[in-house]
Amino acid sequence: MSLIKLEDSTKKEIVGKLQLYFSDELQQEIGSFDAEFLLDFFAEQVGNYYYNQGLADALKTFESKIDDFSDSIYQLEKDTGKKPTD
């Protein structure tokens, strides 16, 4: 499996959020380098869990839509006058 790579602008935004979290919640200052290092650590250690959950959520949504399409198609069926057999 390929490594998950974030856009530089996204990574910069997350680094800022980590710095803000550390400042607001932990009353600790953390530099950009340390915040980026922490982000890389979390990405390597837990990122795949979030990625896999995202795939599972997408598949669940896709399957739901397929069920909706199937129902819509069956509603288009015309009565042939034949009685269903048991």
> In this predicted model, what pLDDT tens digit does every residue of 3-30 receive, in sequence order?
778 999 999 999 999 999 999 999 999 9
CA distances for 74 relative to 46, 63, 79, angstroms: 43, 17, 11
Confidence band, pLDDT 50/70/90 cuts, at residue 83:
confident
Q: Is 15 exposed, middle or buried (0-12, 13-18, 19+ CB in 10 A)?
A: buried
pTM, two decimal places: 0.68
Per-residue pLDDT of 26-47, as tens digits, reads 999 999 999 999 999 999 999 9
- How many Å apart are CA 71 and CA 59, to the nearest integer? 18
